């Protein structure tokens, strides 16, 4: 599609990958798998479908230099730094307004930059299917991931009746968004066959999303349009900061998608992981005979089921008589925790002194 524009959302500041991830270098900028960073992989997935000159990156103002360093193919003026954290509704509105300013009314794909997706060919097929539908119908499209197990860490999408079917890619009306369930409810979702994982990725025409936001979040559109009207002038940065200060923190899901008039879902059957924490990295690591997963040089004695990750693969870790631990080495920082307590890493990071972050 010649009018397709990709919006890469790269503003997250997650703490679940501490100590490798820090406030200055969150998950999307990390090389966790021995190749490209998650941010770079997100651009790689668009090769042949969306050229770099039709890609916008929305990120924190503090991360703009890092984005430009990791994605030199993107025109620097198309890396947009948000001056304050105002959640995804503000980023989506800003991206739609800038896309129209630069490219005119167009179809946009709002994509995550901290997930792993494969195979790329199937991802592109699904994206193209959603984009072609969104160009024909004034609806908001989202990607529902075909669930592989009853996950309790993901939100879910409840599909309604089918609206069209392009080859092997079905499209449905979306009935509702469901919050992260407990295990019993997640199993019921899977057994019903009517629920999909919420990927957090969207496709729509710029006019469609802006008209919906004008209806549901009018202040977002009003304030940000005033700033984007100053695009390319010395006043833009100040106008954007002033606009963001007046906006409440609200997600695009809660602020728009859950209340919009026509929301549709494409069923995506590619492999998808939000790489939500250290255990999600295990499938991509080496594994020894004792089921220890590792990156780096691991020596173990009577130790099983552990996960070891060294940011520098040349580092060595030795384990003796331990089970189900997670050991992470990065710079001068080390994390050691039972697998069952990894959810507490976020609370730990909140308590750390600034010099340990």
Per-residue model confidence (pLDDT) at position 2 = 84
Closest CA to 30 of 84, 66, 75, 77: 66
Per-residue model confidence (pLDDT) at position 275 = 85
DSSP per-residue codes, 270-302? SEEE---SGGGGGGGSEE-TT--EEESEEEEES
- The token duo for 207 is 């006019």
- The answer to whether 269 and 122 are in contact (CB under 8 A) is yes
Per-residue model confidence (pLDDT) at position 346 = 82
Per-residue model confidence (pLDDT) at position 210 = 98
Per-residue model confidence (pLDDT) at position 345 = 87
The length of the chain is 357
- The token duo for 231 is 């695009």
- Distance, CA of 179 to CA of 242 (rounded, Å): 32
The helix/strand/coil state of 177 is strand
Run means of pLDDT, 10 residues per run, the chain, 357 residues? 93 82 88 89 97 97 96 97 95 98 97 94 96 96 96 94 82 95 96 96 98 97 97 96 97 95 96 89 93 96 97 95 97 93 86 62
Domains and CATH numbers, the chain: 4-273 (3.90.550.10), 278-356 (no CATH)
Q: Hey, how many other C-beta atoms are within 10 angstroms of the C-beta on 14?
A: 16
Per-residue model confidence (pLDDT) at position 353 = 62
> Residues near 157 by Cβ (< 8 Å), separated by ≥ 6?
142, 144, 174, 176, 177, 178, 195, 196, 197, 198, 265
Pairing of strands 107-112, 195-205: antiparallel
- Distance, CA of 124 to CA of 118 (rounded, Å): 10
DSSP per-residue codes, 120-145? HHHHHHHHHHHHHHHHHS--EEEEEE
Per-residue model confidence (pLDDT) at position 22 = 84
Per-residue model confidence (pLDDT) at position 25 = 87
Rg (C-alpha) for the chain, rounded Å, is 21
Per-residue model confidence (pLDDT) at position 354 = 53
The helix/strand/coil state of 195 is strand
- Distance, CA of 89 to CA of 255 (rounded, Å): 7
> Residues near 219 by Cβ (< 8 Å), separated by ≥ 6?
246, 247
């Amino acid at each position: 599609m010649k009018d397709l524009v990709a919006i890469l959302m790269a503003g997250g500041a997650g703490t679940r990958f501490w100590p490798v991830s820090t406030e200055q270098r969150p998950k999307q900028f990390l090389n966790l798998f021995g190749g490209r960073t998650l941010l770079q992989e997100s651009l790689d997935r668009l090769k042949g479908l969306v050229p770099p000159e039709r890609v916008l990156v929305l990120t924190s103002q503090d991360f703009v230099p890092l984005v430009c360093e990791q994605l030199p193919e993107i025109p620097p003026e198309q890396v947009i730094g948000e001056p304050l954290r105002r959640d995804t509704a503000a980023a989506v509105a800003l991206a739609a307004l800038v896309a129209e300013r630069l490219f005119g009314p167009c179809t946009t794909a709002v994509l995550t930059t901290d997930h792993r997706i494969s195979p790329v060919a199937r991802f592109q097929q699904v994206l193209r299917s959603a984009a072609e539908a969104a160009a024909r119908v004034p609806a908001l499209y989202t990607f529902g991931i075909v669930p592989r197990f009853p996950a309790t860490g993901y939100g879910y999408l409840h599909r309604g009746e089918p609206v069209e079917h392009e080859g092997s890619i079905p499209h449905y009306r979306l009935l509702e968004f469901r919050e992260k369930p407990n295990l019993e409810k997640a199993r019921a979702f899977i057994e019903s066959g009517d629920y999909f994982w919420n990927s957090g990725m969207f496709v729509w025409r710029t006019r469609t999303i802006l008209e919906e936001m004008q209806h549901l979040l009018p202040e977002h559109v009003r304030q940000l349009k005033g700033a984007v009207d100053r695009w390319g002038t010395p006043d833009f940065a100040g106008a954007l900061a002033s606009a963001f200060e007046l906006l409440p923190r609200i997600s695009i899901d809660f602020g728009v998608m859950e209340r919009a008039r026509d929301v549709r879902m494409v069923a995506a059957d590619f492999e998808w992981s939000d790489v939500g924490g250290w255990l999600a990295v295990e499938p991509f690591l080496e594994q020894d005979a004792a089921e220890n997963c590792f990156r780096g040089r691991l020596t173990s004695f009577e130790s099983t089921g552990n996960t070891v990750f060294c940011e520098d693969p040349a580092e060595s870790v030795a384990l003796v008589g331990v089970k189900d631990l997670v050991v992470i080495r990065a710079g001068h920082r080390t994390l050691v925790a039972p697998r069952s307590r990894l959810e507490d890493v976020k609370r730990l990071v909140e308590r750390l002194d600034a010099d340990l972050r």
